[in-house]
Every structure is written in structure tokens, then in C-alpha cells.
């Protein structure tokens, strides 16, 4: 993620996709707030020995596990509080759940420090959400967006210190998570973006990233009627899909987090056709 021009990029997208103005403005507020914290975060990224890195890449293992990411706890807690303030004005669902969270914090029943330390533990997060009647997708959204600046800095450092080549798996070479969106660059090469740490890696073009199916009779796609740069790649082998941005058909640089938002209607169409998205959409709130 480039920290400097996000606000302008989102503003440009709003002009292109006015029907998504409300959710894009919300995303812009979130991004601006995250950028206030990102420059002051101190990251000690996981040390990965070259010999271990080479073995992991060769054998198809990610470099680290999710719990190995260094998270600036204090910064994440402060950002969580700021994001709650932003979210309460976004819609009624968010307002109600932010109130539940703040009520639990006010009586010292909800420990944010413990939550940030256990960000990777889905069962733990589900348990906490259930105890306080907090909507799980909302809770996960607020936690994830609070630790995201730390994740981004981790990945920037890991990718700088570790050259990742010849990775042909559909899951992330850094943390092992599945991709949430892909793009074709100007030369037609395919890249996948990790749904968790946001790392982007080159992938085989005619291959399902989820089940590794390469049978072209079971791989097909459909375009957005109003914008052929956006398509949905479908796999009949596993009945899953991933959205793709074709950079050759647009005159601006794709900004994948936003591209995922302005194509929510394609998620709906794909799911109506009976296909599943393996990764959760954080913006279906």
C-alpha cells in the first residue's frame, strides 16, 4: 500500500463509481486514520534465515504463520478506538455494535490488549463476540483494520529482506492465506493479493488458485456489463471464484482494496450463480 496518495485515489474512484460513494467515503476515512498511525509504528519483523526461506519456497510452505507477525499493540488499540468513532456514523448496524463494544470496555469486561495479541485466533475472537453479542463480521473488521498498519509494515520489510521467486501456489507465500482478488498487468501477467497480509505475488494465469485446477473446460469467467476491466474467474471443479482486474482495459493503476469494494455487485452475481468466495469480504457491512 502506498501511503501518500490513497485519499486522492479513492476520490478518483468515487468519480468513476458514484453508486459506491458512501462506502468509498467510509473506506477513505478508515484509510486516512490508518495513515496517521503508520509512520509511528515500530516494527520488529520476523527474522527468516535464507536457508529456511529457500526450503519453505521450494516445498510450498509460507515463510511465517499469522501469529508471527509483529503487531504494535498500543498503536492498534488507539486505532481501534478511532475506527469505532468513525464507524458509529457509517450505518445503523455499525453504530449498534460499536455501542456493544464500548459498553463492554467501560465495565472492563472486554480486554483490547488481549484481543490484539490474539488477532489470529478465530475461535478466540468468535468466543469474545458471542459473549458480548457483537456481530462477528463487524468485530473482525474493526480488529483487522486496527492491526492492518502493522501488517503492512511487516510485509514491506519481509518482502524487502526476502526475495520470493518461483512461487506457484494459490495461497500467500508470506503467511499462507488465500487471495481475495487478482489482477492482470499490462503484459497480461496474473497477480494475486493475499486476503490477510495484502502481499501480492505472480501466479499462473490459467489455474484456479483455490483447488489448482488447470482444466480449461472447467475454468471460465464473466465480465461486468458496465466495465469490462472487471471480471469474475469461475472454477467448476471447486465452485469457487475470484474477481480480477484487467489493467490492459483501464487507463489508471488498479488499487485492489478499492477494486474489491466497487465490484461487490459481481460478488452477488457470482454467488447467485452458485459459486462461493473463499475469503470474507470485509466491506459487506
Claim to verify: residue 195 and residue 254 sit in the same structural domain: yes
Is the pLDDT at 162 greater than 70, yes or no? yes
Select from 96, 126, 161 the last residue of a domain: 161
> Is residue 87 assigned to a domain?
yes
Amino acid 1: pLDDT:
41
To the nearest whole number, what is the mean pLDDT of the chain?
92
Q: Which three cell numbers stand for residue 104?
A: 463492554
Does pLDDT of 133 surpass 70?
A: yes
281, part of any domain: no
Please list, in sequence order, all residues whose beta carbon lies within 8 angstroms of the beta carbon of residue 106, skipping any fewer than 6 positions away. none
**How far is 36 from 34, CA to CA, in rounded Å?**
5
Q: Is the pLDDT of residue 2 over 80?
A: no
* Burial readout 228-252 (b: 16 or more C-beta within 10 A, e: otherwise): ebbbbbbbeebebbbbbbbbeeeee
> Using one digit for the tens of pLDDT, what is the confidence trace for 172-221?
999 999 999 999 999 999 999 999 999 999 999 999 999 999 999 999 99
> Does 203 share its domain with 245?
yes
pLDDT for the residue 54: 79
* Those residues with Cβ within 8 angstroms of residue 151's Cβ, 6 or more apart along the chain or in another chain: 69, 71, 196, 197, 198
- Long-range own/partner contacts, residues 265-270 (CB < 8 A, 24 or more apart): 265/224, 266/224, 266/230, 266/231, 266/232, 267/243, 269/222, 269/232, 270/232, 270/234, 270/241
C-alpha cell at 57: 519456497
**Residue 87 reports pLDDT greater than 70:** yes
Query: What was the pLDDT predicted at 273?
Result: 97
In terms of DSSP H, where are the helices of the chain? 6-16, 21-38, 50-59, 73-87, 92-106, 112-117, 122-131, 136-161, 256-261, 264-272
Both 145 and 56 in a single domain?
Answer: yes
Mark 27-47 as b/e (b = at least 16 C-beta within 10 Å).
bbbbbebbeebbeebebebbe
Indicate the pairing of strand 227-235 with strand 200-203: unpaired
Structural domain includes residue 249? yes
DSSP, collapsed to helix, strand or coil, labels residue 211 as coil
Q: Is residue 83 pLDDT above 70, yes or no? A: yes
Domain check: are 78 and 157 in the same one? yes
In this structure, is residue 12 part of a structural domain?
no
Average pLDDT over residues 49-77: 88
Instruction: Tell me the pLDDT band of 3, cut-offs 50, 70 and 90.
Output: very low
* Cell 477513505, located at residue: 28
Q: For residue 4, what pLDDT is reported? A: 56
Percentage of the chain beyond pLDDT 90 is 80
Over its C-alpha atoms, the chain yields an Rg (Å, rounded) of: 19
87 and 134 share one domain: yes
The better pLDDT of the pair 186, 53 is held by: 186
Q: Is residue 64 a contact partner of residue 46, using CB atoms and an 8 Å limit? A: yes
Nearby residues of 155 by Cβ (< 8 Å), 6 or more positions away: 174, 197, 198, 199
Same domain, 155 and 35: yes
Give the residue carrying C-alpha cell 456489463.
225
Same domain, 198 and 265: yes
Q: 25 and 156: one domain?
A: yes
Residue 281 has what pLDDT? Answer: 83
pLDDT at residue 149 tops 90: yes
Range of the domain at 234: 179-272
Q: Same domain for 71 and 137? A: yes
Q: Are residues 234 and 148 in the same domain?
A: no
Counting the structural domains of the chain, the total is: 2
Out of 161, 187, 204, a domain closes at 161
Q: Please report whether residue 3 resides in a domain.
A: no
Amino acid at each position: 500500500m502506498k501511503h501518500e496518495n490513497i485519499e486522492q485515489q479513492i476520490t478518483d474512484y468515487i468519480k468513476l463509481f458514484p453508486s459506491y460513494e458512501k462506502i468509498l467515503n467510509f473506506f477513505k476515512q478508515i484509510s486516512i486514520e490508518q495513515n496517521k498511525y503508520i509512520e509511528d509504528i515500530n516494527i520488529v519483523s520476523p527474522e527468516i534465515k535464507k536457508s529456511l526461506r529457500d526450503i519453505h519456497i521450494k516445498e510450498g510452505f509460507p515463510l511465517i504463520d499469522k501469529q508471527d507477525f509483529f503487531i504494535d499493540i498500543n498503536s492498534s488499540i488507539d486505532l481501534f478506538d478511532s475506527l469505532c468513532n468513525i464507524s458509529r456514523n457509517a450505518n445503523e448496524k455499525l453504530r449498534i455494535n460499536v455501542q456493544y463494544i464500548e459498553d463492554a470496555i467501560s465495565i472492563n469486561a472486554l480486554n483490547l490488549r488481549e484481543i490484539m495479541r490474539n488477532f489470529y485466533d478465530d475461535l478466540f475472537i468468535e468466543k469474545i463476540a458471542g459473549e458480548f453479542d457483537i456481530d462477528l463480521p463487524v468485530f473482525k473488521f474493526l480488529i483487522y483494520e486496527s492491526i492492518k498498519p502493522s501488517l503492512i509494515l511487516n510485509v514491506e520489510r519481509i518482502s524487502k529482506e526476502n526475495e520470493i521467486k518461483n512461487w506457484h501456489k494459490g495461497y500467500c507465500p508470506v503467511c499462507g492465506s488465500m487471495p481475495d482478488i487478482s489482477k492482470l498487468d499490462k503484459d497480461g501477467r496474473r497477480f494475486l493479493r493475499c486476503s490477510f497480509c495484502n502481499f501480492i505475488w505472480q501466479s499462473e494465469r490459467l489455474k484456479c488458485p483455490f483447488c489448482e485446477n488447470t482444466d480449461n473446460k472447467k475454468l471460465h469467467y464473466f465480465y461486468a456489463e458496465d466495465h469490462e476491466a472487471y471480471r469474475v474467474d469461475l472454477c467448476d471443479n471447486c465452485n469457487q471464484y475470484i474477481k480480477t482486474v484487467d489493467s490492459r482495459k483501464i487507463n489508471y493503476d488498479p488499487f485492489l482494496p478499492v477494486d474489491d469494494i466497487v465490484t461487490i455487485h459481481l460478488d452477488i452475481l457470482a454467488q447467485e450463480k452458485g459459486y462461493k468466495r473463499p475469503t470474507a469480504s470485509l466491506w459487506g457491512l
